[in-house]
Amino acid sequence: MKSLSDTTGDYLTYEEDEKLRDHCGVVGVYLSDHETNASRLAYYGLQSLQHRGQESTGIAVSDGEKVEHYKKMGLVADVYNHETLAPLKGYIAIGHVLYSTSGHATIENAQPFVSRSKLGTLAVAHNGSLVNAEPMKEFLEETGSTFTSASDTEVIIKLIAKNYKKGLEKALTDTIQLIRGSFALAVMTEKTLIGARDPNGIRPLCLGKLPNGWILASESCAIDAMGGDLVRDIEPGEIVIINDDGVLSFNFGEKTARKNCIFEYVYFARPDSIMDNIHVLEARIRMGEVLARESGVAADVVIGVPDSGLGAAIGFSRASGIPYAMGLVKNKYIGRTFIAPTQEEREQMVFVKLNAIKYDVCGKRVVIIDDSIVRGTTARRLIQILRKAGAKEVHFRISSPPVKYPCYFGIDTPVRADLISATHDSAEICTAVGADSLAFISMEGMVEALESCEPERAVEHTEQNGSKKSEANDCCFCQGCFLGEYPMPMIGEIGKR
Ligand code: AMP
């Protein structure tokens, strides 16, 4: 790996494995009529959350008396089949897909975690990252707990289990008040399904209704896949307890400022999801519109990088009047298992994964939109691909601001030194990736785009900010990766990066 400070060489040669990673999706199902197919519904939900984690998956299910679970490394489609799902009979289920950010890719870290004691069984599926997992773990070890994984989710289940004798509600609120960081939780006992979201609402979690029950899911696209209807998002700092009495909701702790992760809208979430009242596709289209206004350029065609750059490309085209074209094809069948043992083969891999459509770009001035630049690898290779296909000019536009800081809340951003924008300005990045021009959306522009999707946001922003004028760095979104300002003080982690 070469140094990022070399702006002229071919330094952007990273292993695919080193890419910035998304992680984790959770689902929960409660069937009020006690039908026993909750695990099958969870499986449908996990299929549509596969984009949130491809390392391992698991489902825990309860028939009201006992909790069974099954987890394995691999993709949802490969892990479950008729034989593995058939024994998972019950009316309550939680499920998880994992892309680990704390800990490594081993079965020990796969979720849900299940804890059995004479008081009962608990299963926990978690999306997020705790910033005080280490001190909590030390505290638990000092009081007799042992750990089998590197996952901070094990800290959560051990804390709940430790307090379980106080009753479920108290155990949950006590635990949640001890942990710091981001968490969207689906928790299950023999007779109850529980959802909880951290006080800032950093990671998403929503509630859905089935004709015969309830759903919890990281994204509403999973509720759709399970045949349910989105009811609402779980609020920051809210716990919902679902059982035969329906959905009981209460808040834990003091009211804290909403800080939804902005990167969910930029990259993670599926475009068909509605997250915290914002349609993800609409957010991307609006970002593209703002980008066109801020950094327009004379060109013949606008194309987007599949999949997360497509919405912004549509918006850029609409706002600029430059025709939108497909421009690039992504091979759907290349997953993480694609083997590229040498650097040369890894370079080749991008050409296998993405190809330009000559018909759309040859002889043209092309604007290409991607949702983000992290290390710069993708941008550089895409520009090569477009030039090879005969593009006359290539103008790179990015629908999020420069990613300059690591994330401590669940997005596995590389160390700061590996983030190209931490050490290079736009002009330097433009030269390094070989574009004719390059521009990022501004921070204010991105917040404006998101707030325009939900006018309520702007009101909440103004209330949080205490002034009429919106300040981008004091809005309802966590923008830690762009500004280095986080929703809470970090414990122990910052020094490592
Ligand atoms: P890079 O090639 O390192 O500059 O990464 C930028 C590319 O990675 C863009 O095409 C993004 O769509 C994509 N990307 C952004 N965030 C993530 C993530 N968390 N995991 C994987 N890819 C990502």
pLDDT in tens, 314-330: 999 999 999 999 999 99
Span from the CA of 251 to the centroid of ligand 1 (angstroms):
35
pLDDT at 465 exceeding the cut of 70: no
Give the C-alpha separation, 212 to 190, whole Å.
Answer: 18
* Pick from 110, 143, 268: nearest CA to 203: 268
What's at 204, amino acid-wise? P
Pocket test for ligand 1, best of 10, 129, 261, 267 (most atoms within 8 A of CB): 267
213 C-alpha to ligand 1 centroid (Å): 37
Does the pLDDT value for residue 230 go beyond 50? yes
Question: CA–CA separation, 371 vs 306, rounded Å?
Answer: 10
Tell which atom from ligand 1 comes closest to the C-alpha of 376: 4
pLDDT in tens, 414-432: 678 889 999 999 999 999 9
Find, among 479, 449, 406, the residue nearest to 259 by Cα. Answer: 479
Query: In ligand 1, which atom is closest to the CA atom of 268?
Result: 19
Query: How many angstroms is it from 276 CA to the middle of ligand 1?
Result: 23
Q: In what order do the strands lie in the sheet with 246-251?
A: 113-117, 120-130, 181-188, 193-197, 238-243, 246-251
Give nearest CA residue, ligand 1 atom 9.
372
State what percent of residues in the chain have pLDDT above 70: 86
Measure 150 CA to ligand 1 centroid, in angstroms: 25
Active-site hit among 24, 206, 221, 478: 24
Closest atom of ligand 1 to 414 CA is 3
Residue 20 vs residue 366, higher pLDDT: 366
Who has greater pLDDT, 185 or 341? 185
pLDDT computed for residue 219 by the predictor: 98
CA distances from 494 to 108, 485, 497 (A): 26, 12, 6
- pLDDT above 90 covers a percentage of the chain that reads 69
Reported as type and span, the H/E element at residue 124 is strand 120-130
pLDDT at residue 252, rounded to an integer: 83
Beta-strand relationship, 274-275 and 278-279 = antiparallel
> Does position 497 have pLDDT exceeding 50, yes or no?
no
Say what the pLDDT of residue 255 is: 72
Residue 209 has pLDDT above 50, yes or no: yes
Instruction: Give catalytic status of residue 24 as yes or no.
Output: yes
Do 72 and 105 touch, CB atoms closer than 8 A? no
Task: Give the residue-averaged pLDDT of 436-458.
Answer: 92
* pLDDT tens column, 91-116: 999 999 998 655 567 898 899 999 99
Pocket of ligand 1 (CB under 6 A): 19-22, 267, 305, 308, 370-379, 411
pLDDT(237) > 60: yes
Best residue for ligand 1 mutational test, from 374, 385, 420 (most atoms within 8 Å of Cβ): 374
Pick the residue whose CA is nearest to atom 11 on ligand 1. 372
336-394 residue pLDDT tens: 544 555 656 666 777 888 999 999 999 999 999 999 999 888 899 999 999 999 999 99
- Give the pLDDT of residue 269: 96
Question: What domains are defined for the chain?
Answer: 17-261 (3.60.20.10), 274-483 (3.40.50.2020)
Atom of ligand 1 nearest to the CA of 411: 19
**Centroid of ligand 1 to alpha carbon of 226 (angstroms):** 29
